[in-house]
Structure 1
Amino acid sequence: MSKSKVTIGHVFKTIVWPRRNILAVGLVLIIISRLASLVLPGASKYLMDDVIQKGDMEMLKTLVLAVAGSIVIQSITSFLLTRILSVEAQHLIAQLRARVQKKIIYLPVRFFDNSKSGELVSRIMSDVEGVRNLVGTGLVQLVGGLITAVISLVLLINISPMMTLYVLVPVTIFGVISLKAFGYIRPIFRERGKINAEVTGRLTETLNGIRVIKGFNAEKQEVKTFEDGVERLYLNVKKSLTSTSFVTSSATFLLGLASTGIMGIGGYMIIEGDITIGDFLSFTLYLGFMIAPIVQMSNIGSQLTEAFAGLDRTEEIMNMDPEDDGSVRNIQIPQIKGDVSFQNVSFAYEEENRVIKNVSFEAPAGSVTALVGTSGSGKSTIASLAASFLNPDDGTIFIDGQDLSKVSLDSYRRQLGVVLQDDFLFEGTIRENILFPKPDATETELLEAVKAAHVDEFTDRFEKGLDTTIGERGVKLSGGQKQRIAIARAILADPRVLILDEATSNLDTESESYIQESLARLMKGRTSFVIAHRLSTIRQANQILVIENGQIAEQGTHDDLIAKQGRYYDLYTYQARI
């Protein structure tokens, strides 16, 4: 995996600059908020010089109103900052998650063979979260904090220590508001956890079932499902941000109102001679115009560092080459006949260690080609090459006379079907799983596939029939039931090329009999590649390829190979004795 480091210039160009208008609004709001916050210490000078010295009660009223007005401005700008910038940041996160997921799902199968699903989920769901500190309030608060610190440094040089504060009532009110607000927000966060679990769970399933998705050409469908999920997550976060911004704005207003009250009460008490001017001057330090921005800037600095680290990891994914970018695979095959040809095909997962070596054979349209051999001989690799999950290192695979490596994956895989030994079922209903390759299928088409695969043999016994929920990966079903659903799914897809990888292994006799009949219907008229350890299941194949050490050791029909009394004969008679 290539390393990629995101630069400040790149982030500015791709993330900050496209949102310059909304960030400019945020910067204006933060400047207004900071300037309004300086009304209070500025008013202290007039309080000392005019109100206290001259006993001007009218000036006191004017100052109190001015400070109260500045507090209202701070509360409003604080709410707008969160409402505008934080929501926009979450919207950007949702968009980036969808982009990264779309990028990953179109990467080659080999990438998934070398990656952990959980790590990919983290890349998609967590790594992009740091951008909230770039587009959200973090960046403008960094600028605003710097402005506040500089101005405060000039204005507060001669400030004295704080006086005792009369804040009990507003603090109590704020505490009550906080309890009520967080009581309201808590269910929103709980719902977010549920939504996040659903989205992450579905995403993990998508990545684990990538062969099924690619085999049925369903990438677009999964991209749409994920986009809908992250949109739900975004709307939940948007709702909670509105609530939390109200709490923080209430804190600004009520604690600021307490400070305003101190000004009025303190001024009155100074006039009355109850406290000294030094006691009153200590008030301004309580506001902490110097300390708060400095602490805030240090926190934001660490957050921005975190954001860049996450974007580095995201950029690594976005710079990877997709499975098919349209530049090489540009041959369209609207209707596949089904003639498949391997010409001197070799393949290696690791250099200098070829798994397939100079394999050549013809699989005419509508024929059944069985691949047999010991574990690790290369059978599944040949099937993966036929499914275009892998590309040959040497040699060529042809489909209807066209080089498969140059055929559009979209046009090929929409006519490809796969049924695997442990075929992947998604959490949901039986109906949803069968409809997976063709969501717009009619009820008649669905029921025909159900009947052809003998799915109705067990769904008729279920209270909800096809609408029965099967649990994650079909955990509530037996192996035979899951296999029949997978076959029904392939029948509904109506593929021209079919890959069957150990579709009847590890099944009881009754299940195998049903599945053998279902497979016979499925393979009829389609070019099929069958991998089977049970050699009794492939006796009717048009040709059998015996694979040994990545090469074709023997080739022919069942009767021909038995008559040769070679490697196939040994395998078949050995199994017969068992």
Structure 2
Amino acid sequence: MKKQKINLRTAFKTIIWPRRKLVFIGLFLIIVSRLAGLVLPLASKYLIDDVIANKDKEMLKWLVIGVITAIIIQASMSFLLTKILSVQAQFLISELRIKVQKKVLSLPISFFDNQKSGGLVSRIMSDVEGVRNLIGTGLVQLIGGTFTAIISLILLFRISIPLTLFILIPISVFGIIALKAFKYIRPIFKNRAKINAEVKGRLTETLAGVRVIKGFNAEDQENITFEKGAHRIFDNVKRSLTATAFMSSSATFLLGIATTGIMGFSGNAIIDGNLTTGDFLSFTLLLGFMVAPIVQMSNIGSQITEALAGLDRTEELMNMTAEDELPGRSFELETIRGTIEFNNVSFAYEEKKEVLHHISFTAKKGSVTALVGSSGSGKSTIAGLAASFLNPSSGEVTIDGTDLSKVILSSYRKNLGVVLQDEFLFEGSIRENILFAKPNATENEIQEAIKAAYVTEFTDRFEKGLETLIGERGVKLSGGQRQRIAIARAILANPKILILDEATSNLDTESETLIQKSLENLMAGRTTLVIAHRLSTIKKADQILVIEQGHIAEQGNHDELIAKQGRYFDLYTYQAKI
């Protein structure tokens, strides 16, 4: 699908028009405010030519009352404008962040494999902020400024046509410069968002991996990497500042010429009697009312350009195809029995570089299938396919005879439990991490899960028990403790299909014995795929698949494979000697 570039027209259609009532209220307020603002320059003419010339104190009183009233109206309208539209803009930013975050989480695992988490955070949190210049006061001020400039221009023509035509020349030149500058600046803003995302992504990784950095004495190396990123941001900002500075300087120069010309023209006209002093004062003030919005519009134009650049990047994410939006995903699983079958499945992370070749096997309902083999043989890829994190390049993976590529994934994954080798825990308490699998679980269910996973074996020693805070990624716990929390989480989820990826690899011998007992209870009656490093833990598996270089080298139960004295026999006897 061809990507549609976000411009003011598409932004108006998708963002502004749905909120037209508020925008129209904002326009009404700013028009009233700007009309009230014109009272002062218009009143100055009557002050000079009529009130002072005729020494009319009564008229002076009403003139002052009129100007004060206009100032009160102008201030009130400005307050309401900011209150209504700025608040709405912030609300819209929150809505967009929520929408983008939902979209990101709906994308396939392969998307995240090629992205930095910090960069995605930047895109969710920062790219949408510019929308405040579309719904907030920015766009309305742009329109209000245009309205003020047009009204001021009409009034200027009424005072002096030659003088007004003269000042239009430098203003027109400035307008042309501004339009070209905006066209030049937009790609810079878009690239800045990209650089910001990359630098924030690396910074997030640095902070998360601070123990590795200090362990290898690599602080200087990371400082240099961040310094390069900071300089890239600086170079980008410098380019945009140069362009905006050129616009500002052009405005100062051209408007300076216009002001000098006005001095000469108007001075000569007053001497000749073709222009009154009041007309001159009124003209000067009205010129300010016309020029100020034009200069302001150049700044607002930069903000809107930056907003559109951010929305461009947001739109790129929103246009990506979610997992459940892939063609053919329409079948919703009501209930499942749990039989998983691989039919001639091949898979490649990169085109023409297959890591699995024609894999076929059946994991029957309630059975335990173990995957063993050397590192990089394809075990985790098979598990990823079974978990629907990946899609086969060819062949099919089925659940109870239904092709997984046609299933609405949420209906499958609600029956799925996963315990990974490097299990992820969220910052918070032990209880919160276990409840993640089932937020509405009862206290009895929680207690059963933590006892089955032998979590109480270490939480009973903690002062706060299950309420103990574990730090980011569970950094305050040992590997074995983190793994037991992950297993308790899977037990609480009560899945029909269970995938264990080296689930006992981080445990000491004592912990492994405890966990092995809990896993036996957990696996009972569930279809389980186990990636095993310690082969002693899978002796009771219904079938064992020996994976080598993306192929099934051997298949059978423990006794059958030992009797064959093949690859599994070699692996098992080697570990037994160790």
CA contact (8 A) 2:453 2:487 kept: yes
Report SS of the residue matched to 2:561: helix
Q: Does residue 419 in structure 1 map to residue 428 in structure 2?
A: no
Identity of aligned residues (%): 71
Tell me which residue corresponds to 1:302. 302
Letter in 1 for 2:367: S
Instruction: Give the TM-score normalised by structure 1.
Output: 0.76
Q: Does residue 370 in structure 1 map to residue 370 in structure 2?
A: yes
CA contact (8 A) 1:346 1:356 kept: yes
| Distance of aligned partners of 1:493 and 1:2 in 2 relative to their CA distance in 1, 3 Å threshold | farther
User: What root-mean-square deviation, in Å, do the aligned CA atoms of Structure 1 and Structure 2 show?
Assistant: 2.7
Tell me which residue corresponds to 1:354. 354
Separation in 2, partners of 1:20, 1:11? 12
Tell me which residue corresponds to 1:457. 457
Letter in 2 for 1:523: M
Tell me which residue corresponds to 1:379. 379
Deviations 1:377-400 (A, max 9, x none): 100000011111111121122212
CA contact (8 A) 1:2 1:316 kept: no
Q: Does residue 545 in structure 1 map to residue 545 in structure 2?
A: yes
Separation in 2, partners of 1:287, 1:482? 70
Report SS of the residue matched to 1:288: helix
After TM superposition, the structure 1 stretch with the greater mean CA deviation from structure 2, 454-463 or 48-57, is: 48-57
Tell me which residue corresponds to 2:112. 112
Report SS of the residue matched to 2:325: coil
Q: Does residue 133 in structure 1 map to residue 133 in structure 2?
A: yes
CA contact (8 A) 1:416 1:495 kept: yes
Q: Would you say how many aligned residue pairs link Structure 1 and Structure 2?
A: 468
CA contact (8 A) 2:374 2:548 kept: yes
Letter in 2 for 1:360: S
Tell me which residue corresponds to 2:475. 475
1:513 Cα deviation (Å)? 2.2
1:517 Cα deviation (Å)? 2.0
1:51 Cα deviation (Å)? 2.0
Tell me which residue corresponds to 1:162. none
Separation in 2, partners of 1:463, 1:62? 77
Tell me which residue corresponds to 1:28. 28
Unaligned runs of 5+ in 1: 160-199, 209-276
Deviations 1:58-85 (A, max 9, x none): 2222111111111101111101111111
Deviations 1:154-204 (A, max 9, x none): 546899xxxxxxxxxxxxxxxxxxxxxxxxxxxxxxxxxxxxxxxx99xx9
Residues 220-299 of structure 1: matches in 2 within 5 Å?
281=281, 285=285, 288-299=288-299
1:479 Cα deviation (Å)? 0.8
Deviations 1:282-331 (A, max 9, x none): 99659932332122100111111111111111111111111013862333
Tell me which residue corresponds to 1:84. 84
Letter in 1 for 2:39: V
1:434 Cα deviation (Å)? 0.7
Separation in 2, partners of 1:112, 1:461? 38
Deviations 1:81-112 (A, max 9, x none): 11111111111111111111111111111111
| Distance of aligned partners of 1:352 and 1:155 in 2 relative to their CA distance in 1, 3 Å threshold | same
CA contact (8 A) 1:4 1:313 kept: no
Instruction: Give the TM-score normalised by structure 2.
Output: 0.76
Separation in 2, partners of 1:319, 1:470? 37
Q: Does residue 341 in structure 1 map to residue 348 in structure 2?
A: no
Report SS of the residue matched to 2:289: coil
Separation in 2, partners of 1:297, 1:403? 57
Q: Does residue 428 in structure 1 map to residue 428 in structure 2?
A: yes
Residues 490-505 of structure 1: matches in 2 within 5 Å?
490-505=490-505
CA contact (8 A) 2:483 2:506 kept: no
Letter in 2 for 1:304: I
Separation in 1, partners of 2:49, 2:485? 86
1:402 Cα deviation (Å)? 2.0
| Distance of aligned partners of 1:107 and 1:510 in 2 relative to their CA distance in 1, 3 Å threshold | same
Tell me which residue corresponds to 2:444. 444
Letter in 2 for 1:45: K
Letter in 2 for 1:386: A
Separation in 1, partners of 2:148, 2:408? 59
Separation in 1, partners of 2:332, 2:29? 54
| Distance of aligned partners of 1:283 and 1:333 in 2 relative to their CA distance in 1, 3 Å threshold | closer
Deviations 1:222-278 (A, max 9, x none): xxxxxxxxxxxxxxxxxxxxxxxxxxxxxxxxxxxxxxxxxxxxxxxxxxxxxxx89
Residues 85-234 of structure 1: matches in 2 within 5 Å?
85-155=85-155
Letter in 1 for 2:55: G
Letter in 1 for 2:8: I
1:455 Cα deviation (Å)? 0.7
After TM superposition, the structure 1 stretch with the greater mean CA deviation from structure 2, 377-386 or 367-376, is: 367-376
Unaligned runs of 5+ in 2: 160-199, 209-276
